[in-house]
Structure 1
Amino acid sequence: MGYQTIEVRKLTPAIGAEIFGVDLARPLGNQVFQEIHDALMDNLVIFFRDQELTHDQHKAFGRRFGELHIHPTSIRTESEHPEILVIKADEHSKFVAGEEWHSDVSCDPEPPMGSILYMKQLPPEGGGNTLFANMYRAYDTLSAPIQRLCEGLIAVHDGAQVYGGRFGQKPKEGGFPRNEHPVVRTHPVTGRKALYVNRNFTTHIVGLRKSESDALLEMLYRHSETPEFQCRFAWQPNSVAFWDNRAAMHHAMWDYFPHKRLGYRVTVKGDKPFYRAQGRI
């Protein structure tokens, strides 16, 4: 695809691209916005370097792509900016956000469309990279019989095992989100099929015995984590990553303990995952 207002440099053939020639602190013109959107659809995750953003500018950039999502726990957000999720690890951390492969908040009834992470502080000796995986490619490279099997299945995504278990957070009234989504979802923009299960939130497949569900999910997880489906982003201070949760998973490397890593995430609301057997949207 040709771009007129931005420069797009792919990280790998499978996923990821760096975007040059845009200042995210400034309001986006319609053509720039459309080209950034197109680059996201083409590459599933896009990266920007050397950005200086206030919380308000960060939120304004996110709102160009849709209404902003507020995290279901809302505990680790900045009080004046509930749409901003603080991503922090230091010498006191026992767990860090994102250290399992996942799609953000897939336990919600309408999981986020995308996430925009702005990194401010990084470990002095390196580390803290983020890996991203192409879930279109994960689906496309399954054998035809396994594709047909997965297309008819529904999986449960439960926030309790992450927020209540690992992080020990208190649920809001009504408990942590827990919802059922298709194992293969159709992307609402591209019409392509993507695997939609992840180690963080998916607990089991509806209608299968536990042994069957565990075995199939483990196979799908291992397949989705194939290195050839991935890119790896080496953060620098003031870098931004914007990923499409509908067709990509990510994994944050925690290889820098006891050093500090600090960033801020804005998340864009999505819609209910669905599966459509034939045709494009």
Structure 2
Amino acid sequence: MNQLVRSLEIESLTLLPMTPTIGAEVEGLDLSRPLDASTVAALRQALLDWKVLFFRDQDITTEQHLAFAGNFGALEVHPFAPHKPGYPEVLAITHDDKSKGRENTWHSDVTWRVEPSLGSILRALEIPPVGGDTLFADMYAAYDGLKDEVKERIEGRQAVHDFAHFRIAMRKRGATEAEIEAFNEQYPMVEHPVVRTHPETGRKCLYVNAAFTQHIVDMDEHDSRSLLRHLYAQAAIPEYQCRFRWEKNSIAFWDNRASQHYAASDYFPAVRRMERVTVIGDRPY
């Protein structure tokens, strides 16, 4: 869609939507430069409108990556994933012939935290010759599309979230049970609403994901498992999605409160090297 859709009252900022509800490419912005308050406000509004923003040809330094993310809040340090040496806030995500991609599950980042992230900002440093796209799903649309009887079943319900697959990975790497227990104490399982109200838009969105949600509180195990399978499947509906084809120095900035994402792991054994910075959010309600 090569047409001007919204300038947000900033002459140099053009948004090119990828679908009717989710995903917009931002043109005319150089993220290596400091952003003024009006540009930051416009980008924040654009993020709320489109759930994920994309930027091309951003040959920026790590410091500039961090500075851009810092416009939107404090930055988190991921306790499990590898970080870039000297930069604890920067996740280093590399896959090659020795490490197949593992992010090919629909999820929202770090929902096992008491205060999951506001958003994540991912930059492509090296991409495979083909493949390695990331898909994003609009979780407002996922909720809106549910049948009324399903909405009634999940209204007011809470679900438990846990870092279970990180725990498995730690054991494979040889972590002791004492080390794992220390993480369990620091990051205990948390309960979040199955349907979250977005703190800035006030809209309801589906807030369970296949990577971190364990079960629905006070529900029979079989019923919980069956209902969660149905809810997880909503992210896979194409009408709720956009798909981004990476190029070197492309950046994606997504709202973890209103979207889920899926990194297609179809490029093995090629190299896909990314860096991610994440903005701390608040407790869902």
Would the TM-score normalized by the shorter structure come out above 0.5?
A: yes
Q: Superposed, which structure 2 residues align to 1:251-266 within 5 Å? A: 251-266=262-277
User: Relative to 1, partners in 2 of residues 1:92 and 1:177: Cα closer, same or farther, differing over 3 Å?
Assistant: farther
Measure how far apart 1:14 and its partner are: 2.4
Distance 1:258 1:203 in 2: 31
Aligned amino acid, residue 76 of structure 1: P
Aligned to 1:195: 206
Distance 1:240 1:172 in 2: 36
User: Relative to 1, partners in 2 of residues 1:234 and 1:225: Cα closer, same or farther, differing over 3 Å?
Assistant: same
Aligned to 1:279: none
TM-score (norm 1): 0.92
Distance 2:189 2:78 in 1: 14
Distance 2:118 2:262 in 1: 17
User: Relative to 1, partners in 2 of residues 1:13 and 1:184: Cα closer, same or farther, differing over 3 Å?
Assistant: same
Aligned to 2:239: 228
1:46 counterpart = 2:49: no
Aligned to 1:165: 168
1:241 counterpart = 2:245: no
Q: Superposed, which structure 2 residues align to 1:68-107 within 5 Å? A: 68-73=75-80, 75-94=81-100, 96-107=101-112
> Are the counterparts in 2 of residues 14 and 228 from structure 1 also a CA contact under 8 Å?
no
Report which stretch shifted further, 169-178 or 109-118.
169-178
1:142-177 deviation line (CA, Å, top 9, x unaligned) = 1222112212211111102x2122564644724255
Distance 1:77 1:21 in 2: 30
Report which stretch shifted further, 186-195 or 201-210.
201-210
Q: Superposed, which structure 2 residues align to 1:1-281 within 5 Å? A: 2-5=7-10, 6-73=13-80, 75-94=81-100, 96-124=101-129, 126-160=130-164, 162-166=165-169, 168=172, 170=175, 171=180, 173-175=182-184, 176-274=187-285
Report which stretch shifted further, 144-153 or 164-173.
164-173
TM-score (norm 2): 0.91
Report which stretch shifted further, 97-106 or 131-140.
97-106
Distance 2:108 2:252 in 1: 14
Distance 1:166 1:132 in 2: 25
Distance 1:231 1:241 in 2: 12
> Are the counterparts in 1 of residues 106 and 235 from structure 2 also a CA contact under 8 Å?
no
Measure how far apart 1:89 and its partner are: 0.5
> Are the counterparts in 2 of residues 72 and 177 from structure 1 also a CA contact under 8 Å?
no
Alignment coverage as a number of residue pairs: 270
> Are the counterparts in 2 of residues 117 and 265 from structure 1 also a CA contact under 8 Å?
yes
> Are the counterparts in 2 of residues 23 and 51 from structure 1 also a CA contact under 8 Å?
yes
Q: Match of 2:182, SS?
A: coil
Structure 2: which 5+ residue stretches go unaligned? 1-5
Measure how far apart 1:97 and its partner are: 4.2
Kindly report the root-mean-square deviation, in angstroms, between the aligned alpha carbons of the 2 structures. 1.4
Aligned amino acid, residue 242 of structure 1: F
Aligned amino acid, residue 67 of structure 2: A
